Structure 1
């Protein structure tokens, strides 16, 4: 135990280079991905039941303490799937690995001077962090079937724009950048959603997407769907719910995405799709499921 802890701290001390570190592995296909720089550190965290480590936070822009949640340790103890995406939570800004990596990648990819940018969220801490980097960014939330796209509605003492990603209110070729993070898995017709993103982007515009993707899964699995004749949700697998900032209840996951999501983007018409996998020993991006797709129209 003591030797393992010494090895861990030696590994961290040797690895830390904060801002200069290349925290993203870029590939054109998932088959080309074999980068596992954080594996040794992950195994030591699991073996030694480590509760926190120091690391570089791209949101706070400094070294902070990263906390590993009770859920992660429960998963370790019971041999369950370890969700590194939603853990390693910064003690100061409370962003997890996925959202910290999102800010990190946007900071590296997005140039200044963007005049038209849209995000599929508007009330989350992530949105406000991105808004600081992209002043032109506007956001929305899905507020219900009875709402009109592009209209403002009261929510938590604010007025929030409503959009349905499968029928956006924006004109054709009107946006230079679209950001959507962990939304697609909650959309019944995700293919229509991606088509809408393509329609509203300007030629040469970009979309940066994240969603839980299993790179070892060749084809996307549908967990549930909406029966249009009955207007009801039909479950094909055990229901899975994710945290929802808009309401107190979890939000249903319709799909488990596989590597074919990239093929779909090309089929819709995107001219290029870059795959970015976040892995970093100093920023505590662990596993190989923190995946971003950066598509160009």
Structure 2
């Protein structure tokens, strides 16, 4: 495991087996052999590698590089107003301990955006957040923006609700070596496929979530050019660009469909673990 960690770029905490999310000693392994190393799971809390990298970035932002795990950084975050666009999962289970934490899911079939379901789950549409300006010091999103109909409007909404000095910490699958490419347009409510349809797994919906945008390694530049300074805070390279899917179309889409039908989509969709941070100036 340690030799693989060195050649694949895993950090010391992966080799030592200390989970950044739950703080417990654990084993990190793919759900199944061959599945993307970005999705290796903690044997204790089930956090994926990308979630553990988000926790590492949050820990360093809150408590500095010497703080080893997110639970130990929580005292430094007690005054933060935090919004996570997810209402379940290992990271949520840690952050919800914060006194000023809010969370949501996009479930318009159960509740109107800005309201709550009968079970108390808040529904929010990232393109039209119901929060006032400058509501949060931290917004966290994980692998959501590739599914948003108008992602640039959603990035603008996150920017709007960030307070001065606030940060948006987020992940998206990155198609390294390729420019950001739209797969779908929505024109007056009608869906127009620009490229053959691709779906990612979605625990909330059968059939998965439609991929609207394939993000490339130009994303930081694109957002910064929109006046939203963004940088890559963590990049763990498991794969070379040639080992990852490019923009999935034509022959590559046929291979994707074959992998999906064979139940091996998670082996086909291999990405490195990249965490972005957008900083709103104080």
TM-score (norm 2): 0.73
Residue in 2 aligned with 1:183? 144
Distance 1:95 1:40 in 2: 18
Residues 74-93 of structure 1 mapped to structure 2, 5 A cutoff: 83-86=36-39, 88-93=40-45
Structure 2: give runs of 5+ residues left out of the alignment. 63-75, 240-270
2:186 pairs with one of 223, 226, 238 = 226
Residue 145 of structure 1: how far off its partner (Å): 7.0
Residue in 1 aligned with 2:263? none
Distance 1:212 1:40 in 2: 18
Residue in 1 aligned with 2:258? none
Q: Is the 8 A contact 1:198 1:268 kept in 2?
A: no
| 2:71 is equivalent to residue 107 of structure 1 | no
Q: Closer, same or farther in 2 for the Cα pair 1:62/1:125, shift >3 Å?
A: closer
RCO higher in structure (CA 8 A, sep ≥6): 1
TM-score (norm 1): 0.69
Residue in 1 aligned with 2:206? 248
| 2:123 is equivalent to residue 162 of structure 1 | yes
Q: Is the 8 A contact 2:53 2:234 kept in 1?
A: no
Residue 92 of structure 1: how far off its partner (Å): 2.3
Q: Closer, same or farther in 2 for the Cα pair 1:105/1:151, shift >3 Å?
A: same
| 2:231 is equivalent to residue 274 of structure 1 | yes
Residue 188 of structure 1: how far off its partner (Å): 1.3
Residue in 2 aligned with 1:65? 27
Distance 2:82 2:46 in 1: 25
Q: Is the 8 A contact 1:242 1:251 kept in 2?
A: yes
Residue in 2 aligned with 1:126? 91
Distance 1:160 1:62 in 2: 29
Distance 1:144 1:40 in 2: 40
Residue 293 of structure 1: how far off its partner (Å): 1.1
**Which has the larger share of strand?**
1
Aligned Cα RMSD in Å? Answer: 2.6
Residue in 2 aligned with 1:25? none
Distance 2:136 2:22 in 1: 29
Residue in 2 aligned with 1:47? none
Residue 146 of structure 1: how far off its partner (Å): 8.3
1:197 pairs with one of 158, 162, 166 = 158
2:197 pairs with one of 239, 246, 250 = 239
Residue 232 of structure 1: how far off its partner (Å): 3.2
Residue in 2 aligned with 1:153? 117
